[in-house]
Amino acid sequence: MASYFDELHVEEDEIPTVRIERLTRETFRMLFDHDPARYGDIINFQNTPPASKSEIAKLKAPSFEELIDEQCRICLCQYQLNDEALNMPCNHIFHENCLKTWLEKSNFCPLCKFELKTDNEMYELYKQELKNRQSREDNIAQLHDSMFS
């Protein structure tokens, strides 16, 4: 019988964050095999889902001063008087229309990849699981350090 590690293709030298992401994906894939109707969306995480409409509605406009001599990094145009702009929670500013078009497609900041919440339950579950695994791994690493130092 193949060992647990062989079966999950665990390689010794794999980078921890890469391994965590891969294992999380594989777990979800197994869930999908078990119940395709319920977990159907998960295996399509190649593209991130759009940002939640309610999250987009929460975004605030920056002050006029913040726009002076600045450029929207989506359309690469300088802000003009009366241009409508929005501030992401990570403090990156874009034209309102530019940003909204982008967030209808992907949930992250075009500059720094800061993620807004989505309406995709499965994606949120997946993100949560990823986070849990990461913190578990960190805890183990901490425990190891405390034992051997």
3-state secondary structure 43-105: HHCCCCCCECHHHHHHCECCCHHHHCCCECCCCCCECCCCCCEEECCCCCEEEHHHHHHHHCC
29 binds other proteins (CB under 8 A): no
Question: For other proteins, which residue of 53, 58, 113, 131 counts as binding (CB under 8 A)?
Answer: 113
Q: How far is CA 15 from CA 70, 102, 134, 141, in A?
A: 38, 31, 12, 14
Size of the site for other proteins (CB under 8 A): 18
Q: Which range touches other proteins (CB under 8 A), out of 52-60, 99-107, 119-127, 134-142? A: 99-107
Report the residue number, 69 or 145, with the smaller CB distance to other proteins. 69
Q: Which residue has the tokens 């777990």?
A: 27
- Contact 86/99 with Cβ under 8 angstroms? yes
Report the residue number, 105 or 131, with the smaller CB distance to other proteins. 105
105 binds other proteins (CB under 8 A): yes
90 binds other proteins (CB under 8 A): no
Per CB under 8 A, residues contacting other proteins are 46-48, 73-77, 98, 101-102, 105-106, 108-111, 113
